[in-house]
Structure 1
């Protein structure tokens, strides 16, 4: 089955969307959402041929979920029961597709604010979908989720600087490259220069601060939603720590995230004293 392909990839993600301890129905719905999100990303990043056409065709088929209930694509057919059971809007999926369409025409960002605008399309929808699966409809919680998801997206970009450069994309804002004296050719080196290391430390710390500002979401949730979202946030903190361990040399070193680090961060987040604020031990 197509979905099995994407579930097998899930163990490679730093921020698993379906913790094994979650109830089966929730896991099934998160898996269905995840598989569609991965499909969209694969169409935008790995598809051969005309990626814009592929994304546009997939978007038309996605809309059939709400129009006829009978999309053609297997991964979308598996999403139909989840959409019906959780009353999920098409907007988060449409935004993910738009983010990937933007990737086809925009290959760098002038400012940090421009990059955050992109994250509103590429990152925010994931959190909104997770909250929808748990039946959470609270603007304040959604705003915190957006911060967490943007931070997760930034951390992912900073882990993949070399890979993105090879694909023709630079997510490091041009204003930051100039500020730290980094030129694009520095991203092609086998190891990071001193200015690039300083820039990566700065970007990692800024992403961590954004994660901290969204971490109070854990205290606003209850039950399985709280456990699942704590896992996302913990994964983000662990990934940021892994980046810092490279001392900014993301070209020569692999900022590997270890399960024990995620569990340690998760335990901190779930401590009772952290339920109402984002302070970390």
Structure 2
């Protein structure tokens, strides 16, 4: 549990937003809170969303509390979430979040979905089938995209579907990038049914008894499965306003590049692939090309173009 989880009473809305922005600036991850590409008037609302998710995630993942205690704390978080849109709570995150939800017409159910995922983090460490994994992504990643779109006034069904594709792809990419981190902690996101198909087991994977060579066929299946979700998300980019389009294009290409790095890593079970600064710089032409001609990304989403991050012509 971090120092942010026991905030002092706060009745001033400006103070509450500053509190959330401080949290956002300290934790970047994949959430574009501090990005200058986000419209200035929307940044406080985005920071409130981030602070809510960040602190709930801390409840689920940090500290030494038993799962039962974490679940009770998340239940209390859910009560505050339901109250924050109709009451001015003396808790800065929910004071700011309640204002942001009302001001920007944000979907409350998306915030509750995030709490569902955090509850799953407290109790579930293995997944049998990909449908279970997608259920987790539906609640852990997809709500973030939907909240960002709602913040920008985008509620189109096709845009939401495409956003879900990108968010799911990013979540899956993070799972495969973090295999060497999660497995020693006893957490496995690789569907056990996929391991069974190759005469492998979750128990052996968690025990470090599966070689990179034996795991490679499973890895290739994970990569291909994830790439399909990136492709599902391509139509979103052309539907976005200019500033957000640049942000999402960069996120898209960055995610695909990480996925490619996982694919290229000989032993992702023991080594975490990461992009270096020069890798990010190499993405700039592709991001700009996608931003200016989003419709052409479909044609170039192949193993020879976007998947290897060549510059789009």
Residue in 1 that maps onto 2:185: 167
Any residues of structure 2 matched to 1:227-238 within 5 Å, and which?
227-238=246-257
Given the superposition, is the C-alpha separation of residues 52 and 167 from structure 1 closer, same or farther in structure 2, using an over 3 Å criterion?
farther
In 2, Cα distance between equivalents of 1:142 and 1:60: 27
User: Relative contact order, CA 8 A, sep 6+: which one is greater?
Assistant: 1
Which residue, out of 7, 27, 34, partners 2:43?
Answer: 27
Given the superposition, is the C-alpha separation of residues 14 and 102 from structure 1 closer, same or farther in structure 2, using an over 3 Å criterion?
closer
Is 1:71 the counterpart of 2:89? The answer is yes
What is the CA-CA distance between 1:115 and the residue it aligns to? 1.1
Residue in 1 that maps onto 2:238: 219
Task: Give unpaired runs (5+ residues) of structure 2.
Answer: 1-18, 301-311
What is the CA-CA distance between 1:53 and the residue it aligns to? 1.0
Instruction: Between 88-97 and 249-258, report the one with greater CA deviation.
Output: 249-258
CA contact (8 A) 1:61 1:73 kept: no
Count residues in correspondence. 276
In 2, Cα distance between equivalents of 1:180 and 1:15: 36
In 1, Cα distance between equivalents of 2:91 and 2:187: 29
Residue in 2 that maps onto 1:82: 100
CA contact (8 A) 2:24 2:33 kept: no
What is the CA deviation profile of residues 50-76 of structure 1, one whole-angstrom value per residue up to 9, with x for unaligned ones? 1101111111111121231x2343222
Any residues of structure 2 matched to 1:174-213 within 5 Å, and which?
174-184=192-202, 185-189=204-208, 192-213=211-232
What is the CA-CA distance between 1:190 and the residue it aligns to? 9.2
User: What is the root-mean-square deviation of aligned Cα atoms in Å?
Assistant: 2.3
CA contact (8 A) 2:162 2:232 kept: yes
Any residues of structure 2 matched to 1:32-47 within 5 Å, and which?
32-47=48-63
In 1, Cα distance between equivalents of 2:268 and 2:90: 41
Any residues of structure 2 matched to 1:105-184 within 5 Å, and which?
105-184=123-202
Normalising by structure 1, we get a TM-score of: 0.88
